[in-house]
Chains A and B, each alone.
Chain A
Amino acid sequence: MIELTTPITEEQVRGLKVGDQVSISGVVYTGRDAVHKYLHEGGALPEGVSFEGSIIYHCGPVVVKDENGDWQVTAAGPTTSIREEPYQADIMKRFGIRGVIGKGGMGPKTLAGCAENGCVYLHGIGGAAQVLAEHITKVRNVYFKEEFGSPEAIWELEVTGFPAVVTMDSHNKSLHAEVAAASQAVLDENL
């Protein structure tokens, strides 16, 4: 298990390779379809927010206010990442993102973006909303909640020991491409 703490340096990212299991601590920002489209179309981050060296998490959490009026994340697994394929490479470059957490993997454009900008794709366990919520220790802030709705908002989250697997590294290797090619070969033999 490799410990990753934000902010992450390019050197750390370049040292990661496909198949590495990582444990993430620090600050991550959720962002999914609405946020990616907005930023890609030239939208600005909220004042005081910087993605430099940070991680974006493809996630629409379930968040409720507790009796003290504080936000509590009660379920927070990754959402399907491929929907952000048109936008991700551009956004990682513009905002200096070093890691993308999601599920299902992403395509060639993002893989090239990872190599060019020094970024990795970190695969969370899809559906494991409770285990992953336990690794979210605090909600620091929320942005665009009114505009985009709760699941689509940017939630600024503190995480500790959040588990993920590097499935796309900054050296043009993708576990998704490898598994798809291998499974296609077996399928061809079995048709």
Chain B
Amino acid sequence: MEQLFESVIEIVRRTSAEIPDDVQRGVLQALENEKKDTIAENAMKIIERNIALAKEKSQPICQDTGSVLFYVDCPVGFDQMAFEETARQAVTEATKRGYLRQNSVDSLTGKNDGTNLGPGAPAFHFHQHREAHVAVRLMLKGGGCENVGAQYSLPNTPLKANRDLDGCRKVILDAVQQAQGKGCGPGILGICIGGDRATGYERSKTQFLRMLDDRNDHAELDALEQDILTTANKLGIGPMGFGGNTTLLGVKICAANRVPASYFVSISYMCWAFRRHGATLGAQGEIDNWLY
């Protein structure tokens, strides 16, 4: 377990301090697209400098090191409980080393014991697969962007949104308008159409595990992703909500079955400080390959 312990700490460190390459490319593109000598361009310059500095110093990109969300693909027979126990210890150690802020609070008493452990913290999502390797993905999602997430139940009369893809489009764009710069834009949307209230949000977040520049296999969802991205970037909300050309860096949408009576659209917002990494692990828990 010693190697697994160190591997999880390294995954936490890298996720907290290093923006994945796909997101970095999006940020650089956004910087290029802003008008010169505007406050929007200056904001993107500071963001670019921040990304470089965090990596160089091996320090958190953002002080809100977020909810700690593990997504683990594992083979049949994998001991999930042992993994979880080791990962919890690794999270506390990563906190001591300053890769994570003391960021987990008892919801009733408001107490923060500094360990980043508690009911639901960190969160683990295990998924069994028929392959031999273990893949650990980690997302650190800050509170600012989490707070601007939204779940709509269709039909929505004030927004004239019916139970169809055009209705989905309307509520998604409303979520962008409501978020303005509060979620630390330019942001990325992860969306689930359908599901129940819990699985809808859960699946919306797993969309962030996709590469930022990939395309959706489903033609209609792909068209909706491109349409939302283009339209949102016409709104002029811009980096930090200062006004500008880039409001979103990406849009990722999935669909899940629903019961006939429900039609939820669940929208998660990820800030530009898009922290997710992952690695496949070898038999002793050592890191084999990085995934992003």
Contacts and interface: CB of A to CB of B under 8 A. Distances in A.
Interface string A110-125: 0000000000000101
Contacts of A176: 180-181, 241
B133 interface: no
Contacts of B50: 125, 127-131
A125 B53 contact: no
A131 B177 contact: no
A62 B240 CA distance: 22
B57 A127 contact: no
Given A75-B63, A179-B243, A127 B271 contact: yes
Interface stretch (B96-104, B201-209, B258-266): B96-104
A131 B63 contact: no
B241 A127 contact: no
Nearest to A82: B182
A175 B243 contact: yes
A149 B62 contact: no
Nearest to B247: A183
Interface in B113-136: 114
Contacts of B221: none
B63 A187 contact: no
Contacts of A31: none
A75 B59 contact: yes
Contact of B46 (A104, A131, A152): A131
A179 to B, nearest CB: 5
A108 B83 CA distance: 49
Interface in B1-51: 39, 42-43, 46-47, 49-50
Contacts of A104: 144, 180-182, 241
B242 A167 contact: yes
Contacts of A53: none
Interface in A12-32: 19, 21
Contacts of B43: 125, 165
A62 B54 CA distance: 13
Contacts of B65: 62
Contacts of A152: 112
A17 B183 CA distance: 24
Q: Quick one: which of A74, A176, A187 has the most chain B CB within 10 A? A: A187
A55 B181 CA distance: 22
A3 B60 CA distance: 28
B61 A127 contact: yes
A150 B112 CA distance: 8
Interface stretch (B188-196, B210-218, B228-236, B284-292): B228-236
B108 to A, nearest CB: 14
B98 A183 contact: no
Interface of B: 39, 42-43, 46-47, 49-50, 53-54, 57, 59-65, 98, 101-103, 105, 110-112, 114, 142-144, 147, 160, 170, 173-174, 177, 180-182, 184, 231, 234-238, 240-243, 271-273
